[in-house]
Amino acid sequence: MSANPSERLDAVTHAIERAERIAGRAKGSVTLIAVSKTFPAEDAEALIAAGQAVFGENRVQEAKAKWPALKETHPHVELHLIGPLQSNKTKEAVALFDAIHTVDREKIAAAIAAECARQDRRPALFVQVNTGEEPQKAGIPPREAVAFVARCREVHGLAIAGLMCIPPVEDEPGPHFALLKKLAREADVAGLSMGMSADFETAVSFGATHVRVGSALFGTRPKPDSA
């Protein structure tokens, strides 16, 4: 891995552009979310200085400690929640995040809808699908995903931007990305949040619109945390 953040960002950006080209997709059709979880604000700031404007965090508390000051100095920066959301954190999440990738149950959809109305905020919303049907993993089961998106719209009045998945670590990711794409088509949503450091190029070839890349940009995390 290259020595400094700006070289790492260049390497990942070029890899995405190459994957876009090979897949016959327009340059810039994939948004890179730089996942700064477990890394300090200075590391995120170094990437902002290198030109990165979209970041992801997986814990509301950690993001609250790190990002309000960064957002104040860099108002153009967009922050995405990519980790599980508890309903008692919905108020803080809607206030801080520009996108939430982990809408996965009725209760959280209702809580987000209520907070969006109260705060007059409209974060972009992705429904997380548990494509590997892993018991320990968040996300709605694939067979319920399309109906859940419909309920988000019809019952809760939420606009859903897309679907998100985290394939099981031991599986080939391709079939999971293909399943997510098929479900997105059925649910009539355009966004596909899929692909991490190990498989973002594969995800781009399967149509990812958002890739969530942490370690390839920031280095190895002290503790593995794939949640």
**Using CB under 6 A as the criterion, which residues of the chain lie in contact with ligand PLP when the complex forms?**
35, 37, 58, 82-83, 166, 196-198, 212-216, 225-227
Which residue has the closest beta carbon to ligand PLP?
214
Alpha-carbon gap, residue 100 to 103, rounded angstroms:
7
Please count the CA atoms within 13 angstroms of the CA of 93 that sit on its side-chain side. Answer: 31
Return the structure tokens found at 86. Answer: 């508890």
Residue closer to ligand PLP by CB (options 155, 169) is 169
DSSP string, 79-130: EEE-S---GGGHHHHHHH-SEEEEE-SHHHHHHHHHHHHHHT---EEEEEB-
Evaluate whether 84 touches 138 at the Cβ level (below 8 Å): yes
Shortest distance, position 33 Cβ to ligand PLP, whole Å: 8
Shortest distance, position 55 Cβ to ligand PLP, whole Å: 11
**How many C-beta atoms lie closer than 10 Å to residue 133's C-beta?**
12
Residue closer to ligand PLP by CB (options 39, 148) is 39
Shortest distance, position 12 Cβ to ligand PLP, whole Å: 10
Residue closer to ligand PLP by CB (options 8, 156) is 8
Shortest distance, position 26 Cβ to ligand PLP, whole Å: 24
Residue closer to ligand PLP by CB (options 150, 227) is 227
Alpha-carbon gap, residue 18 to 162, rounded angstroms:
24
Shortest distance, position 213 Cβ to ligand PLP, whole Å: 5
Residue closer to ligand PLP by CB (options 6, 114) is 6
